[in-house]
Amino acid sequence: MSIKPLADRVVVKAAAAESTTKSGIIIPDTAKEKPQRGEVVAVGAGKTADNGTAIKPEVQVGDQVLYGKWSGTEITIDGEDYLIMQEKDIFAVL
Amino acid sequence: MSIKPLADRVVVKAAAAESTTKSGIIIPDTAKEKPQRGEVVAVGAGKTADNGTAIKPEVQVGDQVLYGKWSGTEITIDGEDYLIMQEKDIFAVL
Amino acid sequence: MSIKPLADRVVVKAAAAESTTKSGIIIPDTAKEKPQRGEVVAVGAGKTADNGTAIKPEVQVGDQVLYGKWSGTEITIDGEDYLIMQEKDIFAVL
Amino acid sequence: MSIKPLADRVVVKAAAAESTTKSGIIIPDTAKEKPQRGEVVAVGAGKTADNGTAIKPEVQVGDQVLYGKWSGTEITIDGEDYLIMQEKDIFAVL
Amino acid sequence: MSIKPLADRVVVKAAAAESTTKSGIIIPDTAKEKPQRGEVVAVGAGKTADNGTAIKPEVQVGDQVLYGKWSGTEITIDGEDYLIMQEKDIFAVL
Amino acid sequence: MSIKPLADRVVVKAAAAESTTKSGIIIPDTAKEKPQRGEVVAVGAGKTADNGTAIKPEVQVGDQVLYGKWSGTEITIDGEDYLIMQEKDIFAVL
Amino acid sequence: MSIKPLADRVVVKAAAAESTTKSGIIIPDTAKEKPQRGEVVAVGAGKTADNGTAIKPEVQVGDQVLYGKWSGTEITIDGEDYLIMQEKDIFAVL
């Protein structure tokens, strides 16, 4: 997929409603504030620190991640919906 | 086009209402919060970090980019409308 | 438990309602603003300072900790509830 | 004109109502939020970065610039009205 | 007392209602905004500066200190009440 | 006049109502938001940058300066009224 | 007086209602926003800059100073009232 997020942004494919991950994590997306699960499909080059040094992103394409319920902005690529968000909106890699 | 944006600003030519990019991205600009697509027509020299070092911009003239729905300020050059915005308002290069 | 918190985040298993720790600390979780007790089950790699240097976390897996009453976000892993929070929400190691 | 703006301030002579620049830019100043055009008549020595290094201004005396509609403060010099603003209020050099 | 405050936090045992310290300081805790007096019982390793360097705390265990009236969070250890606060909430060592 | 402003503060003697400076600048102080003119009578040693380096002030005693209408705090020295303000409140040296 | 202010704090003994200093400064404390005069009786070791370097305070014990009308917090030492404030609340040394 030919999209290059800028700086510390990450493109995530949201997981289907409720599904269990390999490592057994259940994310009932109906729960109000519960974090959501998804897969990383594109990662930016990373943020620039205050003194100009590049800060490498921690996530990689293919990672299953937990992110904040209201994080990111919706985009459509080849008819598929994705979310583009900043890495700081991602809680953890599962 | 003889306009030189200052610092980390970028001039973007907004794409027509709805069009599909080479890489198949459909951006129905009617959608409320959906990011918009456009082409970069001028790029500034880049921002200065807190310690005075220059931070090179990631985008280049000719890039197809996704930017926030309400980003930038409208300007008219040779009768054409453009948007001038900061690079941090641009989500990704398509 | 295969969860890797990002940056300075920590996963904590909240302690049962009221229990006394080895070192005799009683945390009646009914008390309005009182900090809560729990055990650290996963720790991120740490935050990146403004100049790009990595800041090692102070807590480790297995630590009994005191954290702010409203800190963190609830997640469910293998049917168990945990809290994922930033290290700065943790007051002390008991 | 013997005025020395401090730090990153710039003195600008606002362009007449609507006029076309050499490079054909039409700026109908009646438009509500549209940036305004003017000429730089004095430039400060530049801002000091957080670590004390001087940051040279990008604009120079004589530059035609685009600046935010509500930027700057009005001053009168030898009976002429000017605007004194910070360089970050200037979008681009035309 | 086996509690290790994190970062720049300090555990303080609040002084009894009104008492005079060796150096003669009277702190009528009824006074609305007046700072309160107490004894330091545990001190964290210190804060990390923006560039990652550790900043040693100024107070030590045993110091009599003056702190802001509303500072800190209440915790109970072995049935005793203490306050856990950040060092910046402490005005002075008496 | 024996007053030493601290850090980046400057003491200014406000100019009389409306007067024309040598360089012909008319500042009708009745105008609502117009900057005011005055003379610098004392200058502090300068601010300390985030990394501890001293930042020399740009203005000197005797400079005619333009400052924001509502800047500074009034003080009385030997029966005369002055304004004490931060250097960043001063727009330019005339 | 055995009080050691922390970081950049300073203890000031407020001057009596209206009095004239050696250098002739009259501070009618009735004036609403006028700065107040007082004498420095204790000074902290100084603030720590963002990169961990210590920033020496400018004022010393015995200095007559001008400070903001509402600055500082009241404390009582040996029955005497003082104000403890941050050095940035002090305008100037008289």
For the segment C9-64, what is each residue's pLDDT rounded down to a tens digit?
Answer: 999 999 976 555 556 655 544 445 678 999 999 999 999 987 888 899 999 999 99
Is residue A68 assigned to a domain? Answer: yes
G45·E58 Cβ contact <8 A: yes
Is residue C23 assigned to a domain? Answer: yes
C91·E6 Cβ contact <8 A: yes
CATH number at residue A86: 2.30.33.40
CB pairs under 8 A between B and D: 75
Which residue segment(s) compose the domain that A25 sits in?
A: 9-93
Angle at C67 between CA C63 and CA C71, to 5 degrees: 125
Question: What confidence tens digit (pLDDT) does each residue in D40-65 have?
Answer: 999 999 999 878 888 999 999 999 99
**Among B65-79, D69-83, F21-35, which stretch is predicted with the lowest mean pLDDT?**
F21-35
Is residue A89 assigned to a domain? Answer: yes
Residue of A nearest to C1 (CA): A23
Give the per-residue pLDDT at B52: 84
Question: What confidence tens digit (pLDDT) does each residue in C64-92 have?
Answer: 999 998 899 999 888 899 999 999 999 99
Give the per-residue pLDDT at D26: 55
Task: Please list every residue in chain F whose beta carbon sits closer than 8 Å to the beta carbon of residue D7.
Answer: 58, 88
CA distances from C64 to C85, E4, E19, E44 (A): 15, 10, 35, 16
* Whole-number Å distance between alpha carbons of G59 and D25: 56
Give the per-residue pLDDT at B21: 54
Task: Please list every residue in chain F whose beta carbon sits closer than 8 Å to the beta carbon of residue G58.
Answer: 6-7, 45
Task: Please list every residue in chain E whose beta carbon sits closer than 8 Å to the beta carbon of residue C94.
Answer: 2-4
Is residue C1 assigned to a domain? Answer: no
Nearest CA among G75, G55, G79, G59 for reference residue G67: G59
Q: Average pLDDT of chain G?
A: 86
Give the per-residue pLDDT at B8: 96
Q: Which of residues 10 through 49 in chain C touch E, CB cutoff 8 A? A: 23-28, 31, 33-35, 49
pLDDT band with cut points at 50, 70 and 90 for residue F50? confident
List of chain D residues with pLDDT < 50: 28-31
**Looking at the 3D structure of chain E, how many domains does it have?**
1
Is residue B1 assigned to a domain? Answer: no
* Whole-number Å distance between alpha carbons of A52 and B56: 9
Q: Structure tokens of C32?
A: 């309005």
| Cα D39 to chain centroid, rounded | 7
Give the per-residue pLDDT at C49: 87
Please identify which residue in the block is written with the tokens 């992110």: A67
User: Which of F19, F21, F22, F25 to mutate: most D Cβ within 10 Å?
Assistant: F25
Is residue C2 assigned to a domain? Answer: no
E53·G50 Cβ contact <8 A: no
Out of E4, E51, E79, closest to residue C26 by CB: E79
Contact A49, C50 (CB under 8 A): yes
**Among B56-70, C16-30, F12-26, which stretch is predicted with the lowest mean pLDDT?**
C16-30
Question: What confidence tens digit (pLDDT) does each residue in A7-47 have?
Answer: 999 999 999 765 555 566 555 444 456 789 999 999 999 99
Is residue G2 assigned to a domain? Answer: no
Out of B50, B91, B94, closest to residue A9 by CB: B91
The answer to whether residue F50 neighbours chain G at the CB level (below 8 Å) is: yes
Is residue C3 assigned to a domain? Answer: no
* Whole-number Å distance between alpha carbons of G86 and G88: 5
A contact chains, 3+ CB pairs < 8 A: B, C
